[in-house]
Amino acid sequence: MTIREQLEERELEYLSPYAARSRESKGREKEETECDIRPVFQRDRDRILHCKAFRRLRQKTQVFLLPDGDHYRTRLTHTLEVSQNARTIAKALRLNEDLAEAIALGHDLGHTPFGHAGERALNKVYHFEHNVQSLRVVECLERHGRGLNLTWEVRDGILNHKTAGHPVTLEGCVVRLSDKIAYINHDIDDATRGGILTEDEIPKEIQRVLGASGKERLDTMVHDVIVNSMERPEIRMSGEVSQAMMDLRKFMFKNVYLNPKAKGEEMKAVHLVRQLFEYYAEHPEGMPEKYQSAIRAGKCEKEQIVCDFIAGMTDHYAVMKYGEIFVPQAWKN
């Protein structure tokens, strides 16, 4: 018996009846020889970690555009926090931790530069959603267009991680909730760091239910999900904590996500992304060869390929390209 087979056996004995089991995966688009060490979801996790789109998350905005401080979240540290929350919950519920981790690490791979400002800009000029793009990254953009050939369960979790999504596995549901828990909490921390918010401004009723510090609130939410999802075929929170979390999210929208101080630069980012889109749609020869050959292959619309190129950019690369195209050489310092 290989090590992988032993690990699969252990899953059958140990995991909750509601967990996704590696051996029962619906499998990959293209069949592959199994690894002798790692079950399928563990292998998928490693593939995502080693892909180029994952490394680019390091220089993509989470909420605050190109902040000067060293301690603001980026799309990469956000992804790691989602993964951490998801693994804690999955482990406590005896769900498949490898599957939850793989989905979490892959969920934002398709995110544009400049956070949701970039996403909105591309969605205005062409239909664009970052969860759909994340799936495109793993299915047909990575590995020179061959994709990562991930299992069905990981792809389902990535595609359905948004609030309105319905992942089929409980591990996918865990990631969907962990994403929300992560961003609400770390965005409060970053907003406090940026002088946009003080802890005292968070309404007292929310503080009473969730806690008065970031650590307490994160702890309350994670505990609440675990306690309320034990031995159940669903992932849920208690009414009280869930309501307080929704109220906190609303509070964040009003005070942080739509705050002119945090969003003051956003119009510039939207403009920049739109200009890049219009430029490359007219001058596809300015894109790297692989995108030009994708257009020639004619499998999807030219606009989609331009979106692939722009969504893949880091904030820095987008600004650099913008400078190259629109700013006269002599004016650049």
CB of 80 to Mg ion, least distance (A): 11
Question: Could you tell me which stretch among 102-110, 232-240, 281-289, 296-304 binds Mg ion (CB under 5 A)?
Answer: 102-110
CB of 94 to Mg ion, least distance (A): 25
CB of 230 to Mg ion, least distance (A): 26
Residue 254, burial from CB neighbour count under 10 angstroms (0-12, 13-18, 19+): exposed
Q: Which of 11, 81, 108, 266 binds Mg ion (CB under 5 A)?
A: 108
Q: How far apart are CA 317 and CA 311, in angstroms?
A: 11
Question: Could you tell me which stretch among 105-113, 140-148, 208-216, 278-286 binds Mg ion (CB under 5 A)?
Answer: 105-113
Residue 97, burial from CB neighbour count under 10 angstroms (0-12, 13-18, 19+): buried
Q: Which of 98, 179, 308, 315 binds Mg ion (CB under 5 A)?
A: 179
In sequence order, which residues have a C-beta less than 8 Å from that of residue 213 and are 6 or more positions away? Answer: 199
Residue 47 vs 60, nearer CB to Mg ion: 60
Q: How far apart are CA 275 and CA 255, in angstroms?
A: 29
Residue 108 vs 153, nearer CB to Mg ion: 108
Question: Could you tell me which stretch among 21-29, 101-109, 206-214, 291-299 binds Mg ion (CB under 5 A)?
Answer: 101-109
DSSP characters over 36-101: SS--HHHHHHHHHHTSHHHHHGGGSBSSSSS-SSSSS-BHHHHHHHHHHHHHHHHHHTT--HHHHH
Question: Could you tell me which stretch among 57-65, 172-180, 202-210, 320-328 binds Mg ion (CB under 5 A)?
Answer: 172-180
Residue 179 vs 224, nearer CB to Mg ion: 179
Amino acid (one-letter) located at 117: A
Question: Could you tell me which stretch among 51-59, 143-151, 174-182, 214-222 binds Mg ion (CB under 5 A)?
Answer: 174-182
| Beta-bridge partners for 74 | 61
Stretch 134-163 residues interacting with Mg ion (CB under 5 A): none
Q: How far apart are CA 54 and CA 105, in angstroms?
A: 8
Backbone angles phi, psi at 185, to 5 degrees: -70, -45
CB of 75 to Mg ion, least distance (A): 8
* SS3 state of residue 113: coil
Residue 161 vs 217, nearer CB to Mg ion: 161
Residue 39 vs 157, nearer CB to Mg ion: 157
* SS3 state of residue 129: coil
Note whether 101 binds Mg ion by CB under 5 A: no
- Residues 197, 188: contact at Cβ < 8 Å? yes
Q: Which two tokens stand for residue 305?
A: 């390929």
In angstroms, the first-to-last Cα distance of the chain is 63
Residue 142 vs 179, nearer CB to Mg ion: 179
Residue 25 vs 74, nearer CB to Mg ion: 74
Residue 111 vs 263, nearer CB to Mg ion: 111
CB of 92 to Mg ion, least distance (A): 21
CB of 186 to Mg ion, least distance (A): 10
Residue 78 vs 263, nearer CB to Mg ion: 78
Question: Could you tell me which stretch among 25-33, 171-179, 184-192, 238-246 binds Mg ion (CB under 5 A)?
Answer: 171-179
Provide the binding-site residues for Mg ion, judged by CB under 5 A.
108, 179
